[in-house]
Amino acid sequence: MAALTDRFARAVDYARIAHAAQFRKGSNIPYIYHLLGVSSLVIEFGGNEDQAIAGLLHDTLEDCGAAHEAIIRAQFGEAVATIVRDCTDGTAEGKAKHTDPEAKRRDWIERKRAYLAHLRTADEHTLLVSACDKLHNARAIVQDLEDTAVGTAVFDRFTGGRDGTLGYYQSLAELFTARGVKAAPVLDALVGRMHVLAGAAGAGKVLG
């Protein structure tokens, strides 16, 4: 891991501004908490500065709009923009088209299946950032499952519900393991814990 430069500092500020009005699902925690967490995991697992910056910006297109891609490319380079794009399973504009709950769920399933298929051939730079994103999310889900005030109600926050969310994370853990991503063993253990706490130990995949 090379030393972080002022590019990283500028990316923190970019992420802070882009996601300023957003919070983690079911909480009052500013969304940048997740972005900083993902970037920290990327660094922990040996990612380079481009990957660490992509960790900060990985949700920008999905949550803030497709127009950010060109800006990210201009400010942070092609490598960062490519990883951000490859970590995006749908833009803010695309997701906003679906308002009916059933339509949103069908769109969610289609997007997740397409994303899993994409990851099977994605390069190692994208895979590490994606795995760190899912790892940070999985830790948050497990933490809520272990909180008696939340428990399995945590799945009410997710379009995929309990079974869809568990199936998606199981598929991700298996894919990252098969691709040899450094973060995969930690994610796999968390997904196992997630299944146990959700009362679904041994449940099969829903997606894949």
Q: Alpha-carbon distance 158 to 85, whole Å?
A: 22
CA–CA dist 93, 11 (Å, integer): 23
- Residues counted in the chain: 208
For the chain, 208 residues long, the average pLDDT of each consecutive 10-residue run is 88 96 86 97 97 98 94 98 93 69 89 95 97 97 96 94 96 98 98 93 53
| Six token digits for residue 54 | 């992509």
153 to 85, 104, 127, 149: CA distances (angstroms) = 31, 19, 30, 9
Q: Give the per-residue pLDDT at 131.
A: 98
pLDDT, residue 95, reads 65
Task: Look up the pTM and report it.
Answer: 0.92
Break the chain into its structural domains and give their ranges.
1-97, 100-208
Distance set, CA 57 to CA 15, 132, 138, 141, 201 (Å): 6, 13, 19, 21, 34
Q: What is residue 202's predicted lDDT score, i.e. its pLDDT?
A: 52
Q: Which residues of 162-194 are buried (b: 16+ CB within 10 A; e: fewer)?
A: bebbbbbbbbbbbbbeebebbbbebbbebbbbb
In angstroms, rounded to a whole number, what is the distance separating the alpha carbons of residues 134 and 136? 5
- Note the pLDDT tens digit of each residue in 51-77: 999 999 999 999 999 999 999 999 999
- For residue 24, the model assigns a pLDDT of 83
1-97: CATH topology:
Hypothetical protein af1432 (1.10.3210)
Looking at residue 30, its pLDDT comes to 94
Tell me the C-alpha distance between 197 and 45, whole Å: 27
- Confidence at residue 90, expressed as pLDDT on a 0 to 100 scale: 72
